[in-house]
A and B are shown apart, each in its own frame.
Chain A
Amino acid sequence: MTAPSDSRDASPSTASEALVDGGSAPEQAAAGWGAVFLTTATTVFLAELGDKTQLAALLLSAQSGRPAVVFLGASLALVSSSLVGVLLGRWLSRVMPAHQLERSAGVVMLALGLWLGRQAVLQGGLPSLPLG
């Protein structure tokens, strides 16, 4: 709860309530720490398996024969990158009105979903996938 922060809107009550309440979806506001954790973890884990990050990790661990070091390096990088992502999201929520950010985020997620689905279907058909 660090951000009743989009005070750029003229109407203080509606702006902060939009962030907390989401207008019409109180279940999101009511979502506790555990629920947010689980949603994020599930989504990210499913999306990330079989991704290029993993392929890179696989390659490195295969070449070096030191999977523990590779794992440590990859984990540090992934934690850093998710920290960057979280901070970027917090920053956006400060500089953009809540409803506008929600719409943009929704569009991004829809696009990611369609792209992932397409990739999954293509991957099912192709035996190998290039490390892009």
Chain B
Amino acid sequence: MLALLASTFATVFLAELGDKTQLAIVSISGTSDRPGAVFAGSAFALVLASLVGAAAGGSLSSVIPTEALQLAASVGFILLGTRLILRSRGAEAGEEPTDP
């Protein structure tokens, strides 16, 4: 029981390090001034996703159109990314950055 817990933890934690989700969390957290909300939101979403996964067992991809969801996520990422880039350009033009 403890061994299974530990092996699950290790597997998932290692799989998640440097994963796209964590990159996204780093990006959101770095550019937002509400780290608490980012942490709560990402932790909630990850737990929910794994709950769905554990509950659905092997039949997940037949229940949920994962490609469509990933496509939606990709559109979301592209929108967020574009907005951040535009914002950084606006900030740059507005205030003359002092590069070291």
Which A residues lie at the B interface, using CB under 8 A? 1-3, 8-11, 14, 18-20, 22-25, 28-29, 31, 33-34, 36-54, 56-58, 60-62, 64, 66-67, 69-90, 92-93, 96-103, 105-117, 119-121, 123-124
Contacts and interface: CB of A to CB of B under 8 A. Distances in A.
What 4 A-B pairs are tightest by C-beta distance, nearest first? Answer: A89-B29, A73-B8, A109-B81, A40-B41
Given A64-B4, A73-B6, A117 B85 contact: no
18 contacts: A23-B88, A33-B37, A36-B37, A38-B41, A39-B41, A40-B28, A73-B9, A73-B12, A79-B47, A81-B12, A86-B39, A86-B42, A90-B30, A102-B31, A106-B83, A109-B24, A110-B81, A112-B77
Contact of A113 (B8, B28, B38, B74): B74
Interface of B: 1, 4-13, 15-17, 19-55, 57-58, 60-61, 64, 66-92, 94-95, 97-100
Contacts of B57: 58, 61-62, 67
B12 A56 contact: yes
